[in-house]
């Protein structure tokens, strides 16, 4: 089946290619992507906006099924039939394409200055010198809360760790709501919504993450163990039987109004808006002491790169520069609340919850998930181990120290930091 799809795609691109030649005045650019869901946004909003400003360039958005995207892209790049623009997965998969020469370096692209180094980190070579994809969207971690519940119990938005636990105690004492909607059954909730959500506050975001990659810090250092200690305290505030509570269970508990606080990723916003019939708000991970700098996980998810063998590199660069512009950011972020533009220019969004999430960028320092860059290349895989150990810490199977030690030992077994 995959092969016929592939053949169809190859055929389609070759016909399109020749069609482009026939009308020399109109250049057609093809964007390869796995974002099926975005097709209508591109066709109805983004492409018309770009074409109106750039006469003579036609754009075609050609999504593949997410599971087939990587294999199809590899095959098409090898056959020379890939689109002019390639949507980039974060980190190693795109890095491999760049090292092989399939993606062009984009350091000199106008518009790249609109992005911070953190935003570009997912599509930059290990030495940090060359960027090869324009960052398109990211997801931000934080906590979504039930505003009605907070108003009823008279709880203010917690700013510090102590406030946070005081609020949890109050919700628990009242008994109407489950304080925190999270389970450990699916493991990744504990790691992604737990550890990677609150962790940056303790390891100081990028500073700690970079030091970990350089080998200057270890996962057994206090800064990396402390989030686990905090996470271990969450246990008392989770619902009954949280050990067997799955991710959809947590979502439903919150949207049905049975839980007060949901440790979240911004991608939930769309779903929650349509399902919850109470008012919602959001707050960033609480800091340790009042007045501390806050850190948020602003994780890069989607980028766009330039096919190094594109026949219309100049036109494609124009499109990339436009994708890097605030104009694109505004259209895209509003069409998909919860997937935020990585552009440094703040984007005004109509959705209040999404606007709340993105407003943290102005006061907090962003970082990405600590395990994603470089550190998950070997066996045992640090990301997977973090899932298991985060769940263990919350379940009480492992102490925070034991969990950190296991993770560091696993990392040490294959990772040698570059000197």
Partner 1 sequence: MSSATLSEDGTTIAPRARRWHIAVFLLPAFIVYTAVMILPLIETLRLSLFNTVDGHSTFVGFSNFGVLFGDARWAHDFWNALKNNTIFFAIHMLIQNPLGIALAAMLSIPNLRLAPFYRTAIFLPTLLSFVIVGFIWKLILSPIWGITPFFMDLVGLKSFFSPWLGKPGSALIAVSLISVWQNVGIPMMLIYAALLNIPDEVIEAAECDGITGWSQFWKIKLPLILPAIGMVSILTFVGNFNAFDLVYTVQGALAGPDGATDILGTLLYRTFFGFQLQLGDRSMGATIATVMFLIILAGVSLYLFIIQRRIRRYQF
Residue 138 phi, psi (nearest 5): -140, 165
List CB contacts of 222: < 8 A, sequence separation 6 or more: none
The residue (of 187 and 287) whose beta carbon lies closer to partner 1 is: 187
By rule CB under 8 A, what string of x and - marks binding of each residue 188-227 to partner 1? x---------------------------------------
Stretch that binds partner 1, among 65-73, 134-142, 278-286, 368-376 (CB under 8 A): 368-376
Write down the least CB distance from residue 392 to partner 1, Å: 5
Which of these, 110, 179, 157, lies nearest to 325 by C-alpha position?
Answer: 110
The residue (of 148 and 243) whose beta carbon lies closer to partner 1 is: 243
The residue (of 48 and 241) whose beta carbon lies closer to partner 1 is: 241
Tell whether residue 399 is a contact of partner 1 (CB under 8 A). Answer: no
By rule CB under 8 A, what string of x and - marks binding of each residue 224-263 to partner 1? ---------------xxxxxxxx--x---x----------
Stretch that binds partner 1, among 79-87, 116-124, 134-142, 391-399 (CB under 8 A): 391-399
Give the whole-angstrom CA distance, residue 124 versus residue 112.
12
Write down the least CB distance from residue 211 to partner 1, Å: 21
The residue (of 155 and 411) whose beta carbon lies closer to partner 1 is: 411
Write down the least CB distance from residue 249 to partner 1, Å: 5
Write down the least CB distance from residue 379 to partner 1, Å: 7
Q: Give strand pairing partners of 340.
A: 138
Longest dimension (CA), the chain: 73
CA distance between the termini of the chain = 47
List CB contacts of 69: < 8 A, sequence separation 6 or more: 32, 33, 34, 87
What stretch of H or E contains 146? strand 133-146
Q: Give strand pairing partners of 283.
A: 143
The count of chain residues that interact with partner 1, using the rule CB under 8 A, is 36
The residue (of 91 and 143) whose beta carbon lies closer to partner 1 is: 91
Write down the least CB distance from residue 187 to partner 1, Å: 5
The residue (of 81 and 371) whose beta carbon lies closer to partner 1 is: 371
Tell whether residue 413 is a contact of partner 1 (CB under 8 A). Answer: yes
What stretch of H or E contains 18? helix 2-22
Per-residue tokens: 358: 């993105």
Give the whole-angstrom CA distance, residue 207 versus residue 128.
15
Among 397, 402, 405, 415, binds partner 1 (CB under 8 A): 397
- CA-based angle 404:233:401, to the nearest 5? 20
The residue (of 128 and 248) whose beta carbon lies closer to partner 1 is: 248
Angle, helices 222-234/196-203, rounded to nearest 10 degrees: 140
Interface of this chain with partner 1, residues 131 to 190, rule: CB under 8 A: 183-188
- CA-based angle 278:162:279, to the nearest 5? 10
Task: Answer left, alpha or beta for residue 257, where phi above 0 means left and psi between -120 and 50 means alpha.
Answer: left
Tell whether residue 395 is a contact of partner 1 (CB under 8 A). Answer: yes
390 neighbors 192 (Cβ within 8 angstroms): no
The residue (of 91 and 332) whose beta carbon lies closer to partner 1 is: 91
Write down the least CB distance from residue 267 to partner 1, Å: 16
89 CB-side CA count, 13 A: 18
Cα-Cα-Cα-Cα dihedral sign, residues 314, 101, 305, 73: positive
Write down the least CB distance from residue 233 to partner 1, Å: 19
Write down the least CB distance from residue 125 to partner 1, Å: 18
By rule CB under 8 A, what string of x and - marks binding of each residue 369-388 to partner 1? --xx---xx-xxx-xx--xx
Give the whole-angstrom CA distance, residue 398 versus residue 378.
23
Q: Give strand pairing partners of 103.
A: 307
Stretch that binds partner 1, among 47-55, 148-156, 288-296, 390-398 (CB under 8 A): 390-398
Interface of this chain with partner 1, residues 90 to 119, rule: CB under 8 A: 91-92
The residue (of 4 and 379) whose beta carbon lies closer to partner 1 is: 379
Interacting residue ranges for partner 1, rule: CB under 8 A: 91-92, 183-188, 239-246, 249, 253, 371-372, 376-377, 379-381, 383-384, 387-388, 391-392, 395, 397-398, 410, 413
């Amino acid at each position: 089946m995959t092969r016929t799809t592939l053949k169809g795609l190859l055929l389609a691109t070759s016909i399109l290619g020749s069609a482009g030649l026939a009308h020399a005045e109109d250049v057609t650019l093809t964007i390869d992507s796995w974002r099926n869901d975005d097709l209508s946004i591109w066709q109805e909003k983004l492409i018309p906006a770009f074409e109106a400003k750039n006469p003579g360039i036609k754009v075609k958005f050609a999504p593949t099924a997410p599971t087939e995207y990587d294999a199809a892209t590899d095959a098409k790049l090898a056959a020379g039939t890939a689109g002019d623009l390639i949507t980039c997965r974060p980190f190693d998969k795109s890095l491999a394409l760049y090292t092989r020469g399939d993606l062009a370096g984009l350091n000199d692209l106008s518009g790249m200055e609109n992005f911070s180094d953190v935003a570009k980190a997912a599509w930059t070579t290990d030495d940090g010198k060359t960027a090869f994809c324009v960052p398109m969207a990211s997801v931000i971690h934080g906590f979504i809360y039930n505003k009605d519940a907070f108003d009823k119990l008279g709880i203010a938005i917690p700013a510090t760790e102590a406030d946070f636990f005081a609020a949890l105690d109050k919700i628990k004492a009242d008994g109407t709501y489950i304080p925190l909607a999270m389970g450990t059954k699916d493991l990744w909730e504990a790691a992604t919504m737990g550890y990677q959500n609150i962790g940056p506050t303790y390891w100081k975001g990028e500073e700690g993450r970079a030091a970990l990659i350089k080998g200057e810090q270890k996962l057994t250092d206090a800064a990396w163990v402390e989030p686990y200690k905090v996470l271990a305290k969450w246990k008392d505030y989770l619902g009954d039987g949280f050990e067997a509570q799955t991710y959809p269970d947590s979502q439903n508990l919150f949207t049905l109004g049975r839980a007060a606080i949901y440790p979240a990723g911004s991608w939930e916003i769309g779903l929650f808006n349509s399902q919850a019939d109470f008012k919602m708000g959001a707050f960033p991970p609480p800091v340790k002491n009042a007045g501390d700098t806050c850190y948020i996980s602003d994780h890069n998810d989607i980028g766009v790169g330039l096919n190094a063998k594109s026949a219309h590199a100049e036109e494609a660069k124009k499109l990339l520069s436009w994708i890097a512009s605030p104009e694109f950011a505004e259209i895209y972020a509003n069409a998909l609340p919860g997937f935020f533009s990585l552009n440094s220019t703040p984007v005004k969004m109509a959705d209040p919850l999404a606007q709340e999430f993105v407003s943290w960028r102005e006061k907090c320092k962003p970082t990405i998930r600590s395990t994603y860059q470089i550190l998950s290349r070997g066996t045992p895989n640090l990301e997977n181990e973090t899932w298991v150990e985060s769940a263990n810490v919350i379940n009480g199977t492992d102490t925070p120290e034991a969990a950190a030690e296991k993770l560091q030992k696993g990392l040490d077994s294959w990772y040698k930091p570059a000197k």
